[in-house]
Structures are given as C-alpha cells and as structure tokens.
Amino acid sequence: MLCVKVKIISNKKISQKYFKIGLEAPAIAKEALPGQFIMARLNNGYEPLLRRPFSIHRVKGQGLRVKGEIEILYEVVGEGTEILSQKKYGEYLDIIGPLGKGFDYPLPLTPYPLLVAGGMGVAPLVFLAEEIKKCQSVKVSKCQTLVLIGARTENQILCEKEFKNLGYNVKIATDDGSHGFKGRVTELLEKHLRSTKHEARSTIYACGPKPMLKEVAKISFEHKIPAQISLEEYMACGIGACLGCAVETKSGYQRVCREGPVFDTKELLL
C-alpha cells in the first residue's frame, strides 16, 4: 500500500457519463490484484473533502513503452467524479492503493468462472478476466469463462469488446431489450445455470448495484455454487482505520475496505 502522486497519462470519455483514466503508477501496478481499489484525492481544497474509492479496472505491466499503469473506469455521478473528468494529461493525482482484499480464483478447482456485471460493476471484472486468462494459459487448459453484462439500455453497456478480445463468451442483458436479452442480468445467470452441465465447478464473480448483488447471492445459495461479490459502502479512510464502511456479516461487522470489498456470499447477511 502506497500513497503517491501519479501522472495522468490519459482521461477519455467513453460514452455519455463514462470515462477511463490512465495513471502512471508502476509500484501500484506491480502489487495490484483483481478486485482491489484505490482512494483518490480529487481536490486539494475541502470540496469534496474525502477521497473517493475506485476499482482498479486494468493493469498494464512494465514494458518497453509502458512504465506500469493502472486504469480506472468511472461514471460521473457527482462533484468528485465531475472534477476527475476534467483532469488533463500530465496533471497529477494523489492516490492510495492498492487497497482491500480482491477476488480469489483457484481455477483448477473451479474452471468455470461466471463473471456477472451490472452497470459500473464491469470495472473490476475486466482486471479479473485478464488475470484469469493469464492463469488459464499456464495452469488449466479446460477453463471456460462466461461473462454476463447487464445495463439499463444499449449505450450503457461497458467493456463488451474487452471481454470478447480475451476470447470469452459474452452475453448481454438490457432492461429495455435494446441489446441482447430483455431483462435483468441475474435472470440471464439463472438461465445459464439451469442449462449448463458445469454448474458444480462454476464460481460466480459479481459486481454491481446492491439489489443485483442480493439477487446473485440468492441464486448462489439456490444452486449451491460459490459466489464472490464486490460491495460498495461510503468510505472515509479506505485503509481500515475509521470503521466507517461496516457491512453486516455472520461474524459481526466487517470493513468493506479491508476484509472486502470482495466477500464470499456465504459470509454476508444481505
């Protein structure tokens, strides 16, 4: 974990209110694991006062042309993200990271990962998908990853291409049916689990809005397959000190920033 000022190497609008920012952060890129996040200070003044948490969306390792980068995918929803969207190439961003406990993906045991994203929830899953790909080519050849992406409407679907480029099967659900399956991504998940013969060796990895995650948890219990979900909570410190980000679990309150953000659905009281 480091607190560093890192150089902004790109900050692009993807569509509507979605942006992607690239940061030159070799030390963080080296340590980062899928599911982990950073805390970014978006203003030097007191508005907004607190840092904002963002999942690590992608990591580019040290190479000939790159120094070790991380990417953040974000949606402008308020003051802080609005300020972030206006940052320019060459400016610096004060970040702390990598933080939290990420996804656990023992591929030899569960070679059928099911990545389920709702809205902005795709952010950490792209990093996970890329890491699964790396492990897969080394350790297990039979691994088969399915990605399910849900959004309100067609132009809010994020990262479909990124997942497809990895060679994964991607299925889309939109609330209005403008692209793919009409309905919720969790219905798509149900449908898949009912038809697959690999249910027993699947693991769900999900990120998205709370109601969706609750549904994912329910499905994981009904089908008796493990599920790891990434939670969001308001955060002040992001490093486990303030106890502000508590979530109720079977063993009492736990910190989303430290014991999470990724939790096994079996541990949670949702």
Partner 1 sequence: MKTSVFLGSVRLKNPVLAASGTFGYAEEFKDLVKLDALGAILTKTITLKPCKGNPPPRIVETPSGMLNSIGLENDGVKNFIAEKLPYLKKLKTQTIVSIAGDSTEDYAELAKRLNDAGVSALELNLSCPNIKVLKSQSIKESKLISQNAKATYEVVKAVRKSTKVAIIAKLTPNVTDISLIAQAAEDAGADSVSLVNTFLAMSIDVNTRRPRLGNITGGLSGPAIKPIALRMVWETAKAVKIPVIGIGGIMAADDALEFIIAGATAVEVGTANFINPRAGIEIIDGIKDYMRKNKIKDIKELVGSLKTWQN
Residues in contact with ligand FAD by CB under 6 A are 37, 48, 52-55, 73-75, 77-81, 120, 123, 232-235, 261
Compare residues 50 and 66 and give the one whose CB is closer to partner 1.
50
Compare residues 66 and 246 and give the one whose CB is closer to partner 1.
246
242 in contact with ligand FMN (CB under 6 A): yes
Stretch that binds ligand FMN, among 57-65, 69-77, 236-244, 250-258 (CB under 6 A): 236-244
Compare residues 101 and 171 and give the one whose CB is closer to partner 1.
101
Compare residues 134 and 234 and give the one whose CB is closer to ligand FMN.
234
Taking the complex as a whole, the smallest distance from the CB of residue 231 to ligand FAD amounts, in Å, to: 7
Q: State how far the alpha carbon of 96 is from the alpha carbons of 41, 46, 79, 89, 159, in Å.
A: 9, 18, 20, 20, 25
| Among 239, 244, 246, 267, interactor with ligand FMN by CB under 6 A | 244
Taking the complex as a whole, the smallest distance from the CB of residue 80 to ligand FAD amounts, in Å, to: 3
2 interface partner picked from ligand FMN, ligand FAD, ligand FES, none, CB below 5 to 8 A per type: none
CA dihedral for 191, 195, 199, 202, sign (positive or negative): negative
Integer-rounded Cα Rg, in Å, for the chain is 18
How far is residue 120's CA from residue 230's CA, in Å, rounded to a whole number? Answer: 12
Q: Which residue is nearest to ligand FMN (CB)?
A: 242
Instruction: Kindly list the residues in this chain that would bind ligand FES in the complex (CB under 6 A).
Output: 235-238, 240-245, 255, 257
Taking the complex as a whole, the smallest distance from the CB of residue 124 to partner 1 amounts, in Å, to: 21
49 in contact with ligand FMN (CB under 6 A): no
Q: List residues near partner 1 by CB under 8 A.
A: 1-3, 41, 46-51, 96, 233-248, 252-253
